A and B are shown apart, each in its own frame.
Chain A
């Protein structure tokens, strides 16, 4: 897997850009969703399928599928977990942490000494605070981070949340995660 050292440039191909704009809000819930999209753009259904496959292969689409809302499913706690690593280890550790299933973001950012020694930023989601803290320990074990200085910053009040204004489609992973204030609480139930 390649490391993305930066954001991608804006979408160059105008048909790709129109296609992404048309699907970013979600596929229609009808039996031939790609045909509906194709009709709206005056394309063939087969071309829509080929282009979406190519955009996925190239990484412009990170994944294509069901996008769930963590909080509505009971994942109410999130923490920004930051790590102070020797510069030469940031890439390797960043990739290992970023590949763990419960880690939803992994970014290198500069340290700002003396106030801020941390240079790797990750986001961890769990059902509650205890679950998040257990996952932090699991991450340490799995990535050899037991001795590495880190801090766990749980989210508190949300003062503002608005999608970043990108020209083409918005992204769905807010850089600071989601605040606890919207959490629905125990309204999820499982049945057999």
Chain B
């Protein structure tokens, strides 16, 4: 990430490149040429624009978004932490290698984190240890079903 860089200028071709190809990217020998044809420019220009948008950080990649693979057990956990203890409790939670995302959210339940482990037993142990060391109950909210169908993210430029 480059801090304090100049604003990223996006013209109409950039905007369409970002918005219209988030899914169904051409599975053909020359996919960038196919994109170029739809946008009325040439293949080399599409490659240049993607290089620029990638190095500017606007594009993460051109590739697949994968359905999560089930390996072991995971859950979403939440705690209602008194404001003055939030930093301390967040730090303790972070010491567990089973924790991957850990965020403050604006609610009485103000600390939210994701736990992944080899099995349910280990998840339960981690939760119990966090509760024991903080004296604060942990809500255990495992995913029961996923309903979202990922069609990409429509960008609005106004």
Contacts and interface: CB of A to CB of B under 8 A. Distances in A.
B134 interface: no
A70 to B, nearest CB: 7
Given A164-B74, A175-B76, A66 B59 contact: yes
How extensive is the interface on chain B, given as a class? 35 or more
B25 A153 contact: no
Contacts, number: 319
Contact of B65 (A30, A157, A171, A182): A171
B38 to A, nearest CB: 13
A10 B70 contact: yes
Interface in B37-78: 43, 47, 50-51, 54, 56-71, 74, 76, 78
B66 A62 contact: yes
Interface in B81-132: 90-91, 93-94, 99-107, 109-114, 116
Contacts of A41: none
| B interface secondary structure, majority | mixed
A176 B145 contact: no
Interface residues of A, number: 103
A151 B43 CA distance: 47
A107 B146 contact: yes
Given A4-B67, A24-B66, A98-B146, 14 more contacts: A5-B145, A23-B64, A66-B59, A72-B56, A98-B149, A106-B146, A115-B80, A115-B137, A153-B106, A154-B106, A158-B103, A164-B74, A167-B71, A190-B11
Interface of B: 1, 5-12, 15, 17-18, 21-25, 27-33, 43, 47, 50-51, 54, 56-71, 74, 76, 78, 80, 90-91, 93-94, 99-107, 109-114, 116, 137, 139-155, 157
14 contacts: A23-B64, A27-B31, A29-B62, A61-B65, A62-B64, A63-B22, A63-B152, A97-B147, A105-B146, A115-B80, A155-B103, A158-B104, A171-B66, A191-B10
